[in-house]
Amino acid sequence: MTTPDLRVSIGSLFLKNPVLTASGTFGYGKEFAPYVNLHYLGGVVVKGISLAPRRGNPPPRIVETASGMLNAIGLENVGLDRFISEKMPYLREIGTRVIVNILGDSLEEYQTLGRRLSEVEGISALEVNISCPNVKKGGVAFGTDPAMAEAVTRAVCAHSTLPVIVKLSPNVSDIAQIARGAEAGGAQAVSLINTLLGMAIDVRSRRPRLANIVGGLSGPAIKPIALRMVWQVAQAVKIPVIGIGGITTTEDALEFLLAGATAIEVGTANFVNPRASQEIVEGLGRYLTDNRLSGISEVIGGLILP
């Protein structure tokens, strides 16, 4: 019996399987090494990096909700220089693709990040975060207007030699339009969805449960919305789509692949079950074998409409 072929291509980025980890849920990879054979994964998308280190938001930063959680971490990260000097030496050795999520307050910051990271050995692609709901300026501002999405994509692509993936916000009226903006700007792929803006209130104290008042909802609760958006975007653009949003099991991953995603990212599930990403890789292999499919490409976009 042959090993099932899980390989996929995201533009010029070749992955041994379609399972990535979502930025902000997998640290800088090392945190999960006790639980996951990192080289089994299609790739690791690391915590979003900004030019300067960010402290993030004051606590409380997370609150559990029905089948999900709200977070307002506020993009806490070590900054570009420390990422390159402290995190990359380890990431270079993990035996899979390293995709760096980047975020900025201005086009210039995105450009600088793209240029500097292109010079770093061991990085396979950039994921441009234009969709974080938890910071006051930048981020989501670029993600809610198709022209802005196109401009930031173009800016990063012009200054970087790496494949560029643009991560989209669901907090828009028409996500397909934003995806087309990213495509027009030169993105090799789009990934979606980032978290949905949400809120929770403590009725005893009458205060918001998050210090930031609002935060991003993630986890199984958002999966149907994410799946619908991935399906819509997959039809709207020609570039590959990476599906994200509440993926916890192999079956969840398969739903996104059927809806048209070429790859998926496992997010909040990593917190609940640190082995989730590896288990999904194994589960997809079993699914192909059990269904006598020769490769995962037979699943991608395989949705049968009524």
Residues marked active site are found at 132
Shortest distance, position 272 Cβ to another protein, whole Å: 6
Specify the stretch interacting with another protein by CB under 8 A; choose among 57-65, 133-141, 151-159, 237-245.
57-65
Rule CB under 8 A: is residue 292 a binding residue for another protein?
no
Binding to another protein in span 235-264, by CB under 8 A: 248
Rule CB under 8 A: is residue 68 a binding residue for another protein?
yes
Rule CB under 8 A: is residue 26 a binding residue for another protein?
yes
Which position among 66, 203, 304, 305 is part of the footprint of another protein (CB under 8 A)? 66
Specify the stretch interacting with another protein by CB under 8 A; choose among 18-26, 173-181, 250-258, 277-285.
18-26
Shortest distance, position 267 Cβ to another protein, whole Å: 10
Contact letters (x/-) for another protein, 74-113, by CB under 8 A?
A: --x-------------------------------------
Residue with tokens 């090799």: 188
Rule CB under 8 A: is residue 274 a binding residue for another protein?
yes
Shortest distance, position 61 Cβ to another protein, whole Å: 5
Rule CB under 8 A: is residue 55 a binding residue for another protein?
yes
Binding to another protein in span 164-223, by CB under 8 A: 219-221
| Interface with another protein (CB under 8 A) | 24-27, 31-32, 34-35, 53, 55-56, 58-64, 66-69, 71, 73, 76, 219-221, 248, 268, 270-274
